[in-house]
Amino acid sequence: MSHEYEFLTEANIGAYITAHPELQARLDGTRLTEIREIGDGNLNVVFHVRDAAGRSLILKQSLPYVRMTGEGWPMTPDRARREADSLVAHGAIEQELVVEVVRYDRERYILALEDLSDHRVWRGALNDGECHDGVAVQLGRYVAGVAVGTSVLGRERGEVADATARSQNAELCVITEDLVFTEPVFDVGRNSVLPQNASDAAALAADGVFAAAMSEAKWRFMTHAEALIHGDLHTGSVMVRGSGRRGDEVESVKVFDSEFAFYGPVAFDLGALIANYVFAAARARALGDDERAAWALSLIDETWIGFEEAYLAAASTWRETKLFDGAFARRRVAETLREAALFASAKMARRIVGAAKVADIESLEPDVRAPAARSVLVAARAVAARWHDVSSPAELRGTIAQHLLS
Ligand code: SR1
Ligand code: MG
């Protein structure tokens, strides 16, 4: 297949850097000592480059297809622009918590990003048993900052209308709509589970209450254009730096990989985080560490506290203060929690039965992976049955724990 733009390779990356002054100012493309392809996501190629002076940069290029599957699944490379724009927008609001965009190349769909190789991906850290206290709270604050700072609560009505139009991302939203909401119920041939989990996947698909919840979730995702959300805020979209020892506060948290960003429901990002805490808990439980499993579930409360406090604090600065008063803010918070539970349910199920999985579960040996996967599915169904009644993060955590940790 021929492509309309040149792909980055080890051979041409030096010339690419020297051809762009903003990049050459950050490191010397003529004296590169290290070029490593480090992409481990489902979609893109990612190079880490370092020069003789030890300066470094990340170059991330979107391919015109899904890397995970190859050219048989075409996908717009313009997704990199969504990522660049949303990182810049989010960075303007929560600078400390978002990776810096150095340059974006609209012709070759290349994002140059600050090098975070003194950080590690939070999912990997969690899977290795690390903690990084405080990440979950900071991510709750990040979601609240974005919820207010990109929406009519914090910006001019006209600005939000323009930003909403610029941030349309239908092609990637459709992927989410298919993979996250539809396919756990209606398999189109992309789902897979261990043979030991076949009956669990069948029970999920046959669960009418779960299907009804997924229709609610999908509708809200498709129609509730509240704020410029991240759109794929799992633990693999977060970098952390610190010792990782329990009790040691994380030194730095950086959100990245926001190519699924669009104007959508704020609770979708919270639901993604919650589901990923559940995977971390299921993994810990599978490895016989119930104490760590309970700790992983306690991250639900932490993220929620970070979100709620920051959101309610920001309410005093909202643009509209007549109708959008404190009582309104508290109603939004309550509804956001219910929706976060709903989206968490979808996200929990999709990573077990759907096409794109998570290392937390997949890297377990099959004898413990099967019960771990089963427990996540059962918890997802339990949450789907009562998301509309959830009134506190502790209640949500309790519902999940009842099925995950029993
Ligand atoms: C085809 S893309 C599969 C998944 O990878 C991304 O991380 C998103 O979660 C998407 O659903
Ligand atoms: Mg990603």
What does the block give as tokens for 126? 């969690």
Nearest atom in ligand 1 to 42's CA: 5
The ligand that comes nearest to the alpha carbon of residue 44 is 2
**Dihedrals phi, psi of 304, to nearest 5 degrees:** -65, -45
Instruction: Return the pLDDT at 381.
Output: 98
Edge-to-edge, what's the strand order for the sheet holding 110-114?
32-37, 45-51, 56-61, 110-114, 101-105
What pLDDT, on the 0 to 100 scale, is given for residue 69? 87
More confident residue, 405 or 242: 242
In this structure, the residue with its CA closest to atom 6 of ligand 1 is 42
pLDDT tens digit sequence for 246-281: 999 999 999 999 999 999 999 999 999 999 999 999
Question: What gap in Å lies between CA 87 and CA 157, rounded to an integer?
Answer: 21
pLDDT over 90 for what percent of the chain? 95
Cα-to-centroid distance, 74 and ligand 1 (Å): 13
Say whether pLDDT at 1 is over 50: no
Angle at 281 between CA 350 and CA 44, to 5 degrees: 45
- The reported pLDDT for the residue numbered 88 is 98
pLDDT band (50, 70, 90) for residue 4:
confident
Q: Which of 63, 175, 218 has most ligand 1 atoms within 8 Å of its beta carbon, as the pocket-test mutant? A: 175
User: What is the distance in A from the centroid of ligand 2 to the CA of 302?
Assistant: 23
CATH homologous superfamily for the domain 13-114: Phosphorylase Kinase; domain 1 (3.30.200.20)
Gap between the Cα atoms of 334 and 340, Å rounded: 10
Q: How far apart are CA 280 and CA 272, in angstroms?
A: 13
The alpha carbon of 111 and the centre of ligand 1 are apart by a number of angstroms equal to 19
**How many CB atoms sit inside 10 A of residue 53's CB?**
10
Domain at 120-404: CATH code: 3.90.1200.10
Give the least confident one: 39-43, 252-256, 348-352, 393-397. Answer: 39-43
Q: What residue type is assigned to position 256 of the chain?
A: F
Contact 334, 102 (CB under 8 A): no
- Return the residue whose CA atom lies nearest to atom 11 of ligand 1: 176
Residue intervals of the chain classified under CATH 3.30.200.20 are: 13-114
For residues 365-387, give the mean pLDDT.
98
Task: Indicate the range of 66-75, 126-135, 326-335, 386-395 predicted with least confidence.
Answer: 66-75
Q: Is 173 in the pocket of ligand 1 (CB under 6 A)?
A: no
pLDDT for 288: 98
Lowest mean pLDDT segment, chosen from 35-44, 239-248, 394-403: 35-44
Residue range 218-231: average pLDDT? 98
Helix (H) or strand (E) holding 72: strand 70-74
State whether ipTM is beyond 0.95: yes
- Strand 227-229 and strand 262-264: pairing? antiparallel
> Please, which residues have CB within 8 angstroms of residue 207's CB and are 6 or more apart in sequence?
381, 384
Q: Maximum distance among all alpha carbons in the chain? A: 61
Q: Establish whether residue 42 lines the binding site of ligand 1, counting it when its CB lies within 6 angstroms of any ligand atom.
A: yes
Residue nearest to atom 9 of ligand 1 (CA): 232
pLDDT in tens, 75-134: 999 999 999 999 999 999 999 999 999 999 999 999 999 999 899 999 999 999 999 999
CA distance 273 to 184: 19
Mean pLDDT of 35-62: 93
As annotated, the residues of the chain forming the CATH 3.90.1200.10 domain(s) are 120-404
Side chain identity, residue 71: E
Whether 179 is in the pocket of ligand 1, judged by its Cβ within 6 Å, is: yes
Q: Give the residue carrying structure tokens 């009134």.
A: 391
Lowest mean pLDDT among 3-7, 46-50, 81-85, 203-207: 3-7
Q: Give yes or no for residue 2 having a pLDDT over 70.
A: no
What pLDDT is attached to residue 40?
A: 79
Question: Averaged over 224-251, what is the pLDDT?
Answer: 98
Which one-letter amino acid corresponds to residue 148? V
User: 3-state SS of 279-319?
Assistant: HHHHHHHHCCCHHHHHHHHHHHHHHHHHHHHHHHHHHCCCC
Nearest-angstrom CA–CA distance, 385 and 388:
8
Q: Whose CA is nearest to atom 5 of ligand 1?
A: 42
Residue 166 and residue 175: Cα distance in Å, rounded?
19
Percent of the chain exceeding pLDDT 70 equals 99
Residue 3 above 80 pLDDT? Answer: no
Q: Tell me which residue has tokens 């995977």.
A: 279
Q: Are 144 and 233 in contact (CB under 8 A)?
A: no
pLDDT score recorded for residue 70: 86
